[in-house]
Amino acid sequence: MTIHDQYSRWKTTTLKKSTDKFPERKKIFSTSSGIELPPVLPPSQEETLYIEKLGFPGEYPFTRGVQPTMYRGRFWTMRQYAGFSTAEESNRRYRYLLGAGQTGLSVAFDLPTQIGYDADDPMALGEVGKVGVSISSVEDMAILFDQIPLGQVSTSMTINAPAGVLLAMYIAVARRQGVEMKNLKGTIQNDILKEYIARGTYIYPPAPSMRLITDIFDFCARNVPGWNTISISGYHIREAGSTAVQEVAFTLANGIAYVEAALKAGLPVDEFAPQLSFFFNAHNNVLEEVAKFRAARRMWARLMRERFGAQKPASWQLRFHTQTAGSTLTAQQPENNVARVTLQALSAVLGGTQSLHTNSMDEALWLPTEKSVQVALRTQQIIAYESGAADVIDPLGGSYLIEYLTDQIEARANDYLKRVDEMGGALIAIERGYMQNEIQDAAYAAQMAIEKNEQIVVGVNQFQTNEKISLERQKIDPAIEANAHQRLAVLRTKRDSTRMNELKSHLESAARGSENLIPLFIECVDQNMTLGEVCNTLRGVWGEYKPVAF
């Protein structure tokens, strides 16, 4: 079969099927000069080997995209990350963003919620509502999504150690809205390994933490088929200082560990793999970032098909959300961050992301204002509707430099994976501090390059101005914490204490056993057991993770 025969087959079968499912946007795909834009450029005869290596969009190994039509059929989900203060305030921000054209929700939880403490726990003192929204009960969750139809909106929740409990609350609120769980769409981050590596919001030791993750895999495969059960995150690895190659390598190493844990728990690979998703960072080097996304897709496809024997194409696909890089934002000349975020967002689009969050220009100073959030969202919309970048599938595919960088990132990331495998897998590599040390070394080298002016950061070590950086801080009203305490006190007086004790006893015995915990979580939260009460019960059985100093 000639290369043109392959192209014709792809265009008349794979592409047509996808176009039938997702009709092309009502747009003439051409330049301002009237030059027609084909979905992908027809290859020349000389490119036979090249095309055999890359494949076509929507086909193994998905270097060129997981969907045949990509953004010609529909844009990526525009999902701004938001959450602060109270559930009421966050709900207002969500409705504002949806009204501004956002197409998916992304929830930021405060620190107590992320590590399984109620707002009135002594450990939460001074932290309630500060870096995200405070959620202690299903009643809080109901307020958070008031007037938001959960059967129609896709919701991402950045929650890890207590992910199963927050998912249970979401399901319980959906039921109250009359929405069956089988109709829910969204994602929970649920990635505990990167918490041990780079972020720190862990609760339990690795073994029970991995059990919670595989319980979610199993439950959602059977009951919530439209839900992404995990968002395996390279974002925080990159924010901690890793290189692009390390971000790919360590993220996929963690992905391998989750697949192995699920297989060990007896789950068939093709049952849970289509619900796995990923979360990557987008930095300033546009060409490297585009190549990074393409390399990651190709590597995961090969891992799933060759290493784990997955048979479904959906099991081979690396679908990912992207967030622009918070670590690149500067307090100096914050308006420059608009340019940085634009470049980063463009790299994600050119690299084929399925979902995107764009940071706001003022995030190096304080929580973003409504105006700056709108500018960040408009950045995505301008890329989508005005730039032309979304009109062609894999627009940079075939560039000698892009293909070279894609190959180099894949080769170097595979070297890291080989080292991790030789150690016995990601968990052992984490316990030995291998990944942490590699990231720390990379972060140190990057900082030294800035301090020596080998890497220019505009407005920081070159092109400075005499502007005064505002040191004014946003303040979270202390009444927020007091009101949360009062709400919890009222909630606890309304409950059946006997029923609470029964549920706690059942939860303890289930934690010691092997039953899937998610149905029990749903029952507990629906009966108004709080997040902290569920997590503290599990702490009593499993203990807490204590990091080892390296």
Q: So what's the pLDDT on residue 75?
A: 95
**Residue 265 forms part of a structural domain:** yes
CA dist., res. 477 & res. 395, Å (int): 48
CA angle 543–544–547, rounded 5-degree value? 140
Number of Cβ atoms within 10 Å of the Cβ of 196: 21
DSSP-derived 3-state class of residue 276: strand
Q: Where are the alpha helices (DSSP H) in 120-196?
A: 138-144, 163-176, 193-194
**Residue 139 forms part of a structural domain:** yes
Q: So what's the pLDDT on residue 110?
A: 96
Residue 235, token pair as written in the block: 């974002």
DSSP-derived 3-state class of residue 357: strand
Looking at the 3D structure of the chain, how many domains does it have?
Answer: 1
Q: So what's the pLDDT on residue 472?
A: 65
The contacts of residue 497 (CB under 8 Å, 6+ apart) are none
CA dist., res. 76 & res. 66, Å (int): 12
Q: So what's the pLDDT on residue 469?
A: 77
CA-wise closest residue to 285 among 236, 243, 233: 243
Number of Cβ atoms within 10 Å of the Cβ of 331: 16
**Residue 357 forms part of a structural domain:** yes
Do 323 and 376 touch, CB atoms closer than 8 A? no
Q: So what's the pLDDT on residue 547?
A: 86
Q: So what's the pLDDT on residue 47?
A: 55
Cα 500 to Cα 137, 176, 271, 530, distances in angstroms:
14, 21, 34, 10
Edge-first strand listing for the sheet containing 355-357:
77-78, 355-357, 320-324, 276-282, 230-233
In terms of DSSP bridges, do strands 276-282 and 227-228 run parallel, antiparallel, or are they unpaired? unpaired
Number of Cβ atoms within 10 Å of the Cβ of 377: 21
CA angle 130–166–205, rounded 5-degree value? 90
Q: What is the DSSP string of 433-465?
A: THHHHHHHHHHHHHHHHHHTTSS--BTTTBS--
Cα 159 to Cα 95, 162, 208, 366, 490, distances in angstroms:
21, 7, 16, 22, 26
**Residue 369 forms part of a structural domain:** yes
CA dist., res. 520 & res. 209, Å (int): 16
CA dist., res. 342 & res. 381, Å (int): 11
Look at the chain and count its residues: 550
Residue type, 104: G
Q: Which residues of 220-250 are buried (b: 16+ CB within 10 A; e: fewer)?
A: bbebbeebbbbbbbbbbbbbbbbbbbbbbbb
Do 358 and 377 touch, CB atoms closer than 8 A? yes
**Residue 384 forms part of a structural domain:** yes
Query: Tokens 């918070």, residue?
Result: 326
**Residue 43 forms part of a structural domain:** no
The contacts of residue 376 (CB under 8 Å, 6+ apart) are 80, 341, 358, 359, 360, 361, 368
The contacts of residue 320 (CB under 8 Å, 6+ apart) are 277, 278, 279, 280, 293, 296, 353, 354, 355
Alpha carbons within 13 angstroms on the beta-carbon side of residue 409 total: 29
CA angle 273–313–226, rounded 5-degree value? 50
CA dist., res. 75 & res. 52, Å (int): 27
Tens of each residue's pLDDT in the chain, 550 residues: 677 777 788 888 888 888 888 888 877 788 777 888 888 866 665 555 556 678 889 999 999 999 999 999 999 999 999 998 899 999 999 999 999 999 999 999 999 999 999 999 999 999 999 999 999 999 999 999 999 999 999 999 999 999 999 999 999 999 999 999 999 999 999 999 999 999 999 999 999 999 999 999 999 999 999 999 999 999 999 999 999 999 999 999 999 999 999 999 999 999 999 999 999 999 999 999 999 999 999 999 999 999 999 999 999 999 999 999 999 999 999 999 999 999 999 999 999 999 999 999 999 988 888 999 999 999 999 999 999 999 999 999 988 899 999 999 999 999 999 999 999 999 999 999 999 999 999 999 999 999 999 999 999 999 999 988 776 666 778 899 999 999 999 999 999 999 999 999 999 999 999 999 999 999 999 999 999 999 999 999 999 999 877 6
> Residue 320: which H helix or E strand, with range?
strand 320-324
Cis peptide before 43 (omega within 30 of 0): no
Positive or negative, the CA dihedral 510, 513, 514, 515 is negative
Do 64 and 403 touch, CB atoms closer than 8 A? no
Do 150 and 170 touch, CB atoms closer than 8 A? yes
**Residue 98 forms part of a structural domain:** yes
CA dist., res. 48 & res. 402, Å (int): 18
Q: Write out the residue range of the structural domain in which residue 280 sits.
A: 73-430
Q: Where are the alpha helices (DSSP H) in 265-331?
A: 269-272, 286-302, 313-316
DSSP-derived 3-state class of residue 82: strand
Q: So what's the pLDDT on residue 49?
A: 53
Q: Which CATH number covers residue 377?
A: 3.20.20.240
**Residue 254 forms part of a structural domain:** yes
CA 481 to chain centre: 28
